Amino acid sequence: MLFLNALINIPDDTTVHRLLAELSRVCKPGGRIFVDIRNGSNPWLRFRYWIHNLVGNFVTRGYVLASTARLLEQVGCRVVDTHPIGVRWLTGPAAFLLEAERLEASPLEGRPG
């Protein structure tokens, strides 16, 4: 499953968690989910998004790699590979592509939505 160029505009962590949980739910055990995130640890991107959020009419946000990996684990996936995207400056790449595997048993299975 591909979930690309989507999380950048999700305004809150609750919605992000729900979206990732749904991806995990519909992915078969052993299946792969590819999610891209903008590098929230990159100071240049943080500054750009801060400016955008002051003047823009929609939210733009970055994510920290380790936090996003933990979110995926919470919904029953584990990150098996991470691919940097963009130029690797001193501040790090602009984005990451995370490849996550759906575990055999999701902690959310059997729970009503």
CATH of 2-102, one of 3.40.190.10, 1.10.240.10, 3.10.20.600, 3.40.50.150: 3.40.50.150
Task: Give the number of other Cβ atoms within 10 Å of residue 107's Cβ.
Answer: 13
pLDDT at 70: 95
Mean pLDDT of 39-47: 91
Residue 76 CB contacts under 8 Å (≥ 6 apart), including other chains: 24, 102, 103, 105, 106, 107, 108, 109
pTM of the complete model: 0.84
Residue 12 confidence (pLDDT) above 80: yes
